[in-house]
Amino acid sequence: QVQLRESGGGLVQAGGSLRLSCAASISLYTLNFMAWHRQAPGKQRELVARITSGGRTNYADSVKGRFTISKDNAKNTVYLQMNSLKPEDTGVYYCNVGSSSLDIWGQGTQVTVSS
């Protein structure tokens, strides 16, 4: 059973920074992609950032230039560095990893940005 352990969420003022971590119980080399999604209150879950096994990244337009997704294969960990946070970034952030035979989600970590 593949498990993901997310950490790094919390309460921060607008303009501040947070770094989310997602530690996987399997090697990242077995995965095709790693991603972060978020769900704001009353809204649908949306893709925030995604990174492929080859290191290619893509971001939601709303976070481009502020968020950076990265991975450490040696630690089996995916990160989301979030800078210049805005109140509209508030939500539960979910780590998601997958391959052709896997689609695994973490339990989510709360990020709250106060104005």
- Taking only the tens place, the pLDDT of each residue in 60-69 is 999 999 999 9
Beta bridge partners of 78: 22, 71
Backbone angles phi, psi at 43, to 5 degrees: -125, 165
Using alpha carbons only, give the angle 37, 41, 46 rounded to the nearest 5 degrees.
25
**Distance in angstroms (rounded) separating the CA atoms of residues 86 and 114:** 8
List pLDDT tens digits, range 9-38: 999 999 999 999 999 999 999 899 999 999
H or E element at residue 4: strand 4-7
Tokens at residue 109, please? 């970590």
List pLDDT tens digits, range 40-75: 989 999 999 999 999 999 999 999 999 999 999 999
